[in-house]
Structure 1
């Protein structure tokens, strides 16, 4: 497995393990959608995942960061994330998000970037949006 796919699996697991397989797949879809359209958010899977302030699990002080770095394939959900990340990296993971490139947890405050936008879909407690893929050059 590539380093990028491993980072994507850790990102999806940390961001959405509480949402189960579909939630982790949706996060991987966002990562793949961003990597397919390089820009300010990164140019490949690894840089998309670790771009500053994009995925909370990689923010300094976020409690999911150390857990994401330490999780092993002994965790069944992480094994699933690894498998799906490999499929995402090869372009073979169905997109549940309808082409979304952004999301936020509906259990938190709606971020400013989501103001006035309608989600493409809501999966579990995450709302998914097309923000930078709308032809505005982002």
Structure 2
């Protein structure tokens, strides 16, 4: 598998785990949030960032995208131990391609973080962050301290 195919696959799996019920707009938004992390150099120092490098590093960084956490019920699907329904995966793969290839503009306002509105309370990191958009059941932020 080429690096490009690996990037598409990992991003599609992450979109499936985080936003499969959101429709295309929500899936594109989650994909762009990840792409924004991939492209950002946090301290403009050229050094690896705490949230990972590249699509695989960013998506699989510990405790960043909960669908990859071993205790998350989605992780078995993402690791290939269980089969993701092909129709759902194809939709997420199309969203991943659109994000990686820049076929869709960033709808998040340059967000690097989000949380699901289904959470009982917002995560602590929202304090001091700039809210950019609400898309589907996700609220997006940038400038997270």
TM range (shorter): 0.7 to 0.9
CA gap of 1:92–1:61, structure 2 versus 1, over 3 A, is same
Calculate the TM-score normalised by the size of structure 1: 0.85
Calculate the TM-score normalised by the size of structure 2: 0.81
2:115 to 79, 87, 104: 104
Q: What is the rounded CA distance, in whole Å, between the counterparts of 1:73 and 1:107 in structure 2?
A: 23
Q: Does residue 92 of structure 2 align to residue 81 of structure 1?
A: yes
The Cα shift of 1:73 comes to 6.7
Q: What is the rounded CA distance, in whole Å, between the counterparts of 1:37 and 1:116 in structure 2?
A: 19
Q: 1:120 maps to what in 2?
A: 132
Q: What is the rounded CA distance, in whole Å, between the counterparts of 1:40 and 1:116 in structure 2?
A: 19
8 Å Cα contact 2:16/2:92 also seen in 1: yes
Q: State the superposition RMSD in angstroms.
A: 1.9
2:36 to 33, 37, 58: 33
Q: 2:67 maps to what in 1?
A: 57
Q: Which has the larger radius of gyration?
A: 2
